[in-house]
Amino acid sequence: MTVTESKQTANDLARKCAEEMLKNDPCSTALGMQLTDIGEGYAQMQMCIRKDMLNGHGITHGGLIFTLTDSCFACACNSRNQSTVAQSCVIDFIRPSYRDDVLTANAKETSLAGKNGIYDIVVTNQNGETIAHFRGKSRAIRGTIINN
Amino acid sequence: MTVTESKQTANDLARKCAEEMLKNDPCSTALGMQLTDIGEGYAQMQMCIRKDMLNGHGITHGGLIFTLTDSCFACACNSRNQSTVAQSCVIDFIRPSYRDDVLTANAKETSLAGKNGIYDIVVTNQNGETIAHFRGKSRAIRGTIINN
Amino acid sequence: MTVTESKQTANDLARKCAEEMLKNDPCSTALGMQLTDIGEGYAQMQMCIRKDMLNGHGITHGGLIFTLTDSCFACACNSRNQSTVAQSCVIDFIRPSYRDDVLTANAKETSLAGKNGIYDIVVTNQNGETIAHFRGKSRAIRGTIINN
Amino acid sequence: MTVTESKQTANDLARKCAEEMLKNDPCSTALGMQLTDIGEGYAQMQMCIRKDMLNGHGITHGGLIFTLTDSCFACACNSRNQSTVAQSCVIDFIRPSYRDDVLTANAKETSLAGKNGIYDIVVTNQNGETIAHFRGKSRAIRGTIINN
C-alpha cells in the first residue's frame, strides 16, 4: 500500500466512524448539524442558526456554538476508531453571530500523546469571520466506534 | 435601609434581570430550563435530559451541559443589571449523565474586579453527584438588562 | 479512632508528603517559598517578591505567580501520599503585584473522582487583595511520596 | 514601500519592542532565557534547564515551563508596540523535561480582534518532542513599549 493509499484508508475509516456516531446522535441531528469534511485527526461541521438557538440578547446562545464545536471535536478525536471522550474544553467567544448565519467549525489535531489528545477548533461564519476558538482535551477509553 | 433590606433589594433586582433575560431567550426555553434560585452574584437552574439531548454514546451531549451552565452563568453575571457577556469558559466533565436525569447548575461569583468577573458553576444530577465543573469569565459592556 | 483522630492522621500524612516533596524541590527553595498550612486536600504557601521575580513592566512576572500556585497545587493534590501530577492549569490574573509583596496561595480540592482531581488556588497579597485565580487538573500516577 | 519592506519594518519594530522589554526583565534574565526569533505576532525563546529549575520529582518545575511560555507570549503580543498584558492562560503538560534540556517556546498569534488577542505557544525539547501547549489571552492597555 502506498502512502497515498494508506492515508486514503485512514480517511475512509474516519468517515465511517463519524457517520456511525452522528447517525446515533439525536442532539446533533435535532440541531441540524452537517458533516462537511472528515479525515484522520480532523473534521468540519456546519450548522445554520435558527430562532430557537438565540439567547436573551438576540444573538446565538454560546452553548450552541459550544455544542457545534463539541460534535466536531468528537468526530476528529474518534477518527481512528478508538473510543475517545472529552475531558476538558475551553472556548473563547470572539464576536457574536445571528439568526440565519451559517457557522462552520474546523477541528484539527494539535497533539496526540498516548491516550491524551488536544484538538483546536475554529468557528467561522459565512463571511469567514471568526466567531470562536475552542481547545478540547480528549482521553481514549476502551472500545471502538465501529467493528472493523 | 437595613443590611437585610439592602440585600433583599439586590436579590429582587437579580430576579427581575434573570426573568427579563430568560423570557426573551428561545434557546433556554426550547431546552426546558427552569430558574430555581437567583440573587446578587448567584443563580441556580435545572434541566431535564430529553432524548434529543443525547449524543452518539447514548449519554447527554456535552454541549447541552455547557448550554445549561452558560445560561446559569449569564443569570449570575447579569444580576446587578449591568449588561455582561461571556468571554471565555472552561468546562471539565466529571461523569456522564443520562436520559431523564435532572441536572442542576449552581453558579457563584468567585471574583469581580472592575469589568471582569469569574463565575464557578457546578452541575450535579438528582443524586447529588457532580457531572461537571465550569469556570466562566465575564466582561461588563454598556447597557442594562431592565430599566430601573 | 475517632473522626477527629482520623482527620488528624490524614493531615499528618499530608504534612509529611509536602515536606518530603519540598525538601527535594530546588526550584521552590530557590524562590524562597514557605509552606504555611497543609492538610488532606488543601495547602497554603507564601512567597516574598524579590527583584529577580519582576518582568519588564516592573511587576511580578506572571510565570512566578504561576510557579507559586503550581507548588501549592502539588502539595494539595499529593496530600494523600498518592503520586499525582499536573495535567492542565488555567490562571487568571486579577491585579498586579510588586517587589516586596508577600503573596499567599491557598489551594483547595474542588473535585476528586477516581484518578482525576480539580484544585482551585487563590493568590492574595499582604492586604488580602486577590492577585490571581488558578484551577489545576491533576491525575494520579503510580507510586507514593513517602513509604508508610 | 513594498509589501516586503512593510513586513520588514513591522518585524524590526517587533524586535525593538522585545529587546526593550527583555533588557528590563530581571526574571527572564535570571532564568537565562534567550530570544531566538521575533516578528510581528510571533516570537521564539529558549531556556536551558538548570538544577534550580527542578521540582520534587527531579523534573522541570511546571511553573518555570509556564514562565518561559509567558515571556515568549509577552514578546509576541507586544510586538506591535501597543502595551498588552496577559489576562488568562491555559497550559497543558504533555511530557516531562529534565536537567540540561534546552526548551524552545514558539508563540504565534491565533486571533487578534480589537483589544483582545489569543496566542498559542508550543514548547519543545532539543529532540523536537512536545513538552507543553499553552494558550494565552491578552488585552491591550494604554501606552507603548518604545517611543517611535
Per-residue pLDDT reduced to its tens digit, C56-110: 888 999 999 999 999 999 999 999 999 999 999 999 999 999 999 999 999 999 9
pLDDT for A148 = 65
Query: Chain-wide mean pLDDT for chain D?
Result: 96
**More confident position, C93 or A148:** C93
Is B83 strand, coil or helix?
coil
Per-residue pLDDT reduced to its tens digit, B21-43: 999 999 999 999 999 999 999 99
pLDDT for D148 = 65
What is the average pLDDT across A14-18?
Answer: 97
What is the DSSP-derived secondary structure letter of residue C60? B
Query: Chain-wide mean pLDDT for chain B?
Result: 96
Cell of B45: 437552574
In a domain, B121, yes or no: yes
Structurally, chain C folds into a number of domains equal to: 1
User: Which chain C residue is nearest to residue D28, measuring alpha carbons?
Assistant: C55
Cell of B125: 444530577
Cell of D132: 507543553
Cell of D37: 526569533
Disruptive mutation site among C19, C23, C47, C66 for chain D (greatest number of D CBs within 10 Å): C66
In a domain, A148, yes or no: no
CATH classification at residue B9: 3.10.129.10
What is the complex's ipTM, to 2 decimals?
A: 0.95
In a domain, C147, yes or no: no
pLDDT for B43 = 98
**Residue D135 to residue D120: CA distance in whole angstroms:** 5
Q: Is the pLDDT of residue D10 over 70?
A: yes
Angle value at C-alpha A19, between B29 and A123, nearest 5 degrees: 55
Q: Is the pLDDT of residue B148 over 70?
A: no
How far apart are the CA of D119 and the nearest CA of chain A, in angstroms? 11
Per-residue pLDDT reduced to its tens digit, D56-87: 888 999 999 999 999 999 999 999 999 999 99
In a domain, D145, yes or no: no
Per-residue pLDDT reduced to its tens digit, C23-32: 999 999 999 9
**Residue C92 to residue B37: CA distance in whole angstroms:** 28
Q: Which of B68, B63, B11 lies closest to B35, judged by CA?
A: B68
In a domain, D148, yes or no: no
In a domain, C101, yes or no: yes
Q: Indicate the pTM of the whole model.
A: 0.95
Per-residue pLDDT reduced to its tens digit, C112-140: 999 999 999 999 999 999 999 999 999 99
| Residue A58, CA distances (Å) to A65, A97, B74 in order | 14, 9, 14
Which residue carries 445571528 as its cell? A98
Report CB contact under 8 Å: B120, C120. Answer: yes
pLDDT for A83 = 95
pLDDT for D56 = 85
Which residues have CB under 8 Å from C113's CB, separation 6+? B94, B95, B130
In a domain, B146, yes or no: no
- Per CB-CB distance under 8 Å, the chain C contacts of D56 are 20-25, 28, 74
Per-residue pLDDT reduced to its tens digit, A21-51: 999 999 999 999 999 999 999 999 999 999 9
In a domain, D43, yes or no: yes
- Per CB-CB distance under 8 Å, the chain C contacts of D69 are 63
**Residue D100 to residue D21: CA distance in whole angstroms:** 26
Name beta bridge partners: A139.
A85, A116
What is the average pLDDT across D40-44?
Answer: 98
Domain enclosing residue C126, as ranges: 3-140
Neighbours of C67 (CB within 10 A): 27
**The total number of residues written for chain D in this structure:** 148
Which residue carries 527553595 as its cell? C29
Per-residue pLDDT reduced to its tens digit, B8-25: 899 999 999 999 999 999
Subunits next to D (3 or more Cβ pairs <8 Å) are: A, B, C
User: Which chain B residue is nearest to residue D89, measuring alpha carbons?
Assistant: B88
Q: Which of B147, B142, B104, B96 lies closest to B123, judged by CA?
A: B104
Q: Is the pLDDT of residue B52 over 70?
A: yes
Q: Position D45: which residue type?
A: M
What is the average pLDDT across C51-58?
Answer: 92
